């Protein structure tokens, strides 16, 4: 056993390989690694799109194209913007001067951004890329891991143009009126997470009512 361990150490020394904790990396490096990554995460498929769910994540709610995911004590909200995908809309992003970290993302002819702000003892992540959005409230110790997972999910979204064109097509106006995006709350009046808490509590009450009816 000792010989095996010594051999592994020697191999690592010769090849120059080192193990680096993701939380010790620069956020820029984390973003680049995540967007270029190819992994075997679980693929979740819906009508017109699919995306990869990182290991350890659980989908706990879905309303139209809004998806709620949990990972440990961190909550993620994802929105797939099929209308923007259909019309190939460009992202308009202004850097947040008060943000802990902000960056525009340009990769494979796709544009996006990520903003990270501090709120009490947690970080708040807002990212958009590849016609999808994610916002998350995370523990500070999980920052880089969370950034990596957010970028991986956004970059992994794969659209079925045939289905999207069939779904929207000539019904684009009516479809857009019916689209529901929890990210479009009035941010000047309240934080996104406060809005989400209200939204999810109503959904929980609705589920409880349905259980009682049954």
Q: Is the dihedral of CA 187, 184, 77, 197 positive or negative?
A: positive
So what's the pLDDT on residue 213? 35
Q: In this predicted model, what pLDDT tens digit does every residue of 9-42 receive, in sequence order?
A: 444 444 444 545 767 789 889 998 898 886 667 7
Report the predicted TM-score, pTM, of the whole model to 2 decimal places.
0.74
* Model confidence band, residue 73 (pLDDT cutoffs 50, 70, 90): confident
* Whole-number Cα distances in Å, 58 to 33, 75, 154, 196, 207: 23, 10, 16, 18, 18
Place of tokens 């998350």: 136
So what's the pLDDT on residue 102? 94
Q: Parallel, antiparallel, or unpaired for β 58-63 and 158-159?
A: unpaired
Q: What are phi and psi of 14, to 5 degrees?
A: -70, -45
Query: Would you say residue 208 has pLDDT above 60?
Result: no
On whether the CB atoms of residues 76 and 62 are closer than 8 A, the answer is no
Please state which CATH class domain 24-198 belongs to.
Answer: alpha beta
More confident residue, 147 or 8: 147
More confident residue, 27 or 8: 27
* Whole-number Cα distances in Å, 1 to 7, 8, 9, 43: 10, 11, 13, 38
CA–CA separation, 195 vs 189, rounded Å?
10
CA–CA separation, 70 vs 59, rounded Å?
7
CA–CA separation, 75 vs 70, rounded Å?
5
Q: How does DSSP classify residue 41?
A: P
């Amino acid at each position: 056993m000792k010989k095996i361990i010594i051999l592994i150490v020697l191999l690592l020394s010769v090849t120059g390989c080192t193990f680096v904790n993701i939380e010790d990396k620069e956020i820029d490096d984390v973003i680049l690694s995540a967007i270029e990554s190819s992994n075997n995460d679980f693929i979740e498929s819906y009508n017109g799109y699919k995306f990869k769910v990182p290991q350890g994540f659980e989908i706990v709610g879905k309303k139209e194209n809004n998806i709620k995911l949990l990972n440990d004590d961190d909550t993620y909200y994802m929105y797939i913007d099929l209308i923007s995908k259909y019309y190939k809309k460009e992202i308009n992003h202004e850097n947040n001067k008060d943000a802990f970290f902000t960056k525009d993302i340009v990769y494979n002819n796709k544009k996006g951004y990520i903003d990270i702000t501090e709120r009490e003892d947690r970080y708040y992540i807002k990212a958009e890329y590849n016609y999808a959005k994610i916002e998350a409230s995370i523990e500070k110790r999980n920052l880089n891991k969370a950034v990596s997972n957010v970028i991986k999910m956004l970059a992994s979204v794969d659209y079925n143009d045939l289905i999207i064109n069939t779904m929207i097509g000539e019904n684009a106006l009516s479809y857009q009126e019916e689209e529901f995006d929890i990210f479009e709350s009035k941010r000047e009046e309240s934080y996104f997470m406060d809005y989400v808490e209200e939204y999810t509590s109503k959904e929980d009450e609705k589920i409880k009512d349905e259980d009682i009816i049954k």
